Amino acid sequence: MKKKLFAVVMTAVMAVSMAACGGSNTASSTANDTTDVSVMEDVTATVVEAGEPVAAEDIKVGLICVEDENSGYDASHIEGITKACEDLGIDTATQLIIKKDIPEDESCYDNAVDLAEEGCTIIFSDSYGHQSYMQEAASEYPDIIFVAATGDMAATTGLGNFKNIFPHTFESRYVSGIVAGMKLAEMMAEDSSLDPYVGYIGAYPYAEVVSGYTAFFLGVRSIVPEAHMDVQYTNSWYDPTAEGAAAEALMSKGCAIISAHADSTGAPSAVQAASKNGKKVFCVGYNIDMRSVAPDAALTSAQNNWSVLYKHMLDCVIKGEPVPVDYSVGADQDAVMISELGDACAEGTAEAVEAAWKGIKDGSIQVFDTATFTCPAAEDGSYTVDENGVVTSAYGLDADGDFVNDNGEAIVDGAFVESELRSAPYFSLRIDGITELN
């Protein structure tokens, strides 16, 4: 049953009215609410005023997952929201409802409505394709907060009860790239003829994936400057067979280390099988520790601590404070990390990792420092480069929906600032040294 939007609400500029609980605007310094006033000046939004505090025992939480615990990505969300609830005194047996295996179609809307009718105070979804259906439900239930994780539309919809969250995954990708780079350098020291060739399996050519694989590659290159990388897409978030086949194809071309942005263990399992058959090849995973499926080959995995983001949003509701439109944090809030280092890691890796985390937290390391990469000239006008291919200006947001970034300057003090104009990644530059195979 659909509700009609009946609440009488005021309109205001979203960036001004929706200040984050416990934080300030990212444009000013260490913001948690990432809405940028400069790029939102023409957008008005329905504003949900800060409500009365809600006792933890009275809140009800919903989560819509695109897969189930067999997907490392969904498992990390389920674990994260469960921990957040436990930390805040929310009974996960009676106050948390998790809907699993919900496709990115009308089924998401139906489940969002079900959760709303079951009395949920706040409803989350974990996959990008859920976003439009969450937005539809949010427009019909103005008193319930809907949060689309990995989404990018909340700040432009005009709905004060529709939100986005995403961690600084690019930071953990970069550090996992350093782990890979250390191993690659060790292999090259042992075999001077080794081609510093790295492979990466991507789900889709979305900014989220591009941002991640570029950060990983820049981490590798911080150790091995001559490294180059191929990216093979599977066009699926979760397909163990396709991910395994992509890993095999990259290994057959000579890749020494393979990483992935996909939700299954398909790629690490394929690398482990090749390793057992005598091939000297290693892998870097995502979401979960891959040592259980690749004990000989797994170096580490880039990971997100979703509990940090879930806890912040829930805490705002409990305290009766405004819930941020966009919320994104990283290593400084322990929202990203890498898994325990595998036995195959090169000597000195732990020290290199520690130094990288320190640099990211104190700002001395900027993952997308424009001095560390070059790009060909842009055909679509979304960025500009100098005569050496160094990016001098780049837009981070798409103002007119044509999938070309044309608003919001993303180059600040010589670095591309990720997840500050909005929570979801928007780094989509194709840098030199990386080849997309399809």
How far apart CA 124 and CA 165 sit, in angstroms, is 10
How do residues 265-312 score in pLDDT, each as one tens digit? Answer: 999 999 999 999 999 999 999 999 999 999 999 999 999 999 999 999
Per-residue pLDDT, 401: 84
Per-residue pLDDT, 366: 98
Per-residue pLDDT, 50: 56
The mean per-residue pLDDT over the stretch 104-125 comes to 98
Per-residue pLDDT, 130: 97
- In 106-166, at which residue ranges do the beta strands (DSSP E only) sit? 122-125, 145-149, 162-165
Per-residue pLDDT, 127: 94
- At 204, give phi and psi (nearest 5°): -140, 160
User: Cβ(152)–Cβ(134) under 8 Å?
Assistant: no
Q: What is the DSSP string of 223-285?
A: T-TT-EEEEEE-S-SS-HHHHHHHHHHHHHTT-SEEEEESSSSHHHHHHHHHHHTT---EEEE
Residue 23: band (very low, low, confident or very high) from pLDDT cuts 50, 70, 90: very low
pLDDT at 380 over 90: yes
Place of tokens 């001098």: 392
For residue 292, count CB atoms less than 10 angstroms from its CB and return exposed for 0-12, middle for 13-18, buried for 19 or more.
Answer: exposed
pLDDT at 3 over 60: no
Q: Is 94 helix (H, G, I), strand (E, B) or coil?
A: coil
What's the longest Cα–Cα distance across the chain? 70
Residue 238: band (very low, low, confident or very high) from pLDDT cuts 50, 70, 90: confident
Q: Is 351 helix (H, G, I), strand (E, B) or coil?
A: helix
Contacts 24+ apart (CB under 8 A), 363-366: 365/174, 366/414, 366/415
Who contacts 151 (Cβ-Cβ below 8 Å, separation ≥6)?
Answer: 128, 130, 131, 134, 164, 424
pLDDT at 24 over 90: no
Q: What is the DSSP string of 207-218?
A: HHHHHHHHHHHH
Which strand (E) or helix (H) includes residue 327?
strand 326-327
**Position with higher pLDDT, 13 vs 273:** 273
pLDDT at 257 over 60: yes
Percent of the chain whose predicted confidence (pLDDT) is above 90: 84
Q: Which of 1-15, 40-54, 349-363 has the lowest mean pLDDT?
A: 1-15
**pTM: predicted TM-score of the whole model, two decimal places:** 0.88
The mean per-residue pLDDT over the stretch 236-252 comes to 95
**Position with higher pLDDT, 259 vs 31:** 259
Residue 125: band (very low, low, confident or very high) from pLDDT cuts 50, 70, 90: very high
How do residues 65-86 score in pLDDT, each as one tens digit? Answer: 999 998 889 999 999 999 999 9
